[in-house]
Amino acid sequence: MKTKITEMFGIEHPIIQGGMHYVGFAELAAAVSNAGGLGIITGLTQRSPEALAAEIRRCRDMTDKPFGVNLTFLPTVSSPDYPGYIRAIIEGGVKVVETAGNNPQKWLPALHEADVKVIHKCTSVRHALKAEAIGCDAVSVDGFECGGHPGEDDVPNFILLPRAAEALTIPFVASGGMADGRSLVAALALGAEGINMGTRFIATTEAPVHQNVKDAIVAASELDTRLVMRPLRNTERVLRNDAVDRLLEKEKALGSNLKFEDIMDEVAGVYPRIMQDGTMDAGAWSCGMVAGLIHDIPSVKVLIDRIMQEADAIISKRLATMTRH
């Protein structure tokens, strides 16, 4: 399938694996790239620029196809060594960076000078327009359904994607609620040039996470996610568990007096314990509503081939028979 995104990134299928904390390691990124999509290493899961450089080399040993690195710019007190991470990306020969979080403007000149394409994650049309204005090559438009941070506007993809198509001139991919061939065809119909999948890729054989995590996603329905940290305007969609129930109780009890410190136990440093150790009630972890559409744990190649075959069948058979001849 040929779209502006497949051409921009030099990939076979318009499917991108989103950056995910303690999930986006070389194993998964290489598997996605080898299957014709665009795999992404999560930059900040690597503790230092040196560790990221090593992870990029490891991925390069597993695939000769294009892959990218996700770099999230956080509003933190002690900022990560962003110049070091950017250097590791450029020196590692990576040609695609998925940026997220704060405005990536100050890092764009160095990336573009090294011929790196930048796709920025946005949860609103105004942020997408800003990304276009500062020179991002593409954007990933994240609807309210998505796992992780959906922003504060609560606009689902059925509205957000066509709005983005009306407003943008750079290409965009749809993120949030993407799972199968139906998602891909719908996203293309609404104006996107491809899809970005997060939660769906966690439930694959190559995802380097504990089996408990994969089983939890398969067992979950579309009703099993919750929004946390809404009072702090840092809303995150997570899978419901004991820790999330506790967190929501605290939010309710404290109301407008809630501070980040009050919920530290449920949200800080929990990813290694969940993703690696499989301690499923250790804290809140990002998961999309799309869990309701995930019923198995295939290999990445089986998943991507299935999505493309299903999309092809929908376009050439189901939709084609509906148009009058």
In a domain, 214, yes or no: no
Q: Burial code of 234-254, b = ≥16 C-beta within 10 A, e = fewer?
A: ebbbbbbbebbebbbeebeee
pTM above 0.85, yes or no: yes
- Residue 79: what pLDDT? 87
In a domain, 135, yes or no: yes
Specify the number of domains making up the chain: 1
Q: Is 145 inside a domain boundary? A: yes
Structural domain including 140 reads 4-207
- CATH number, residue 59: 3.20.20.70
Cβ atoms within 10 Å of 124's Cβ, excluding its own:
18
pLDDT along the chain (325 residues), means of 10: 98 97 98 98 97 98 98 84 97 98 96 98 98 98 97 97 98 98 98 98 98 98 97 96 97 95 94 97 97 98 98 96 81
Whether residue 306 lies inside any domain: the answer is no
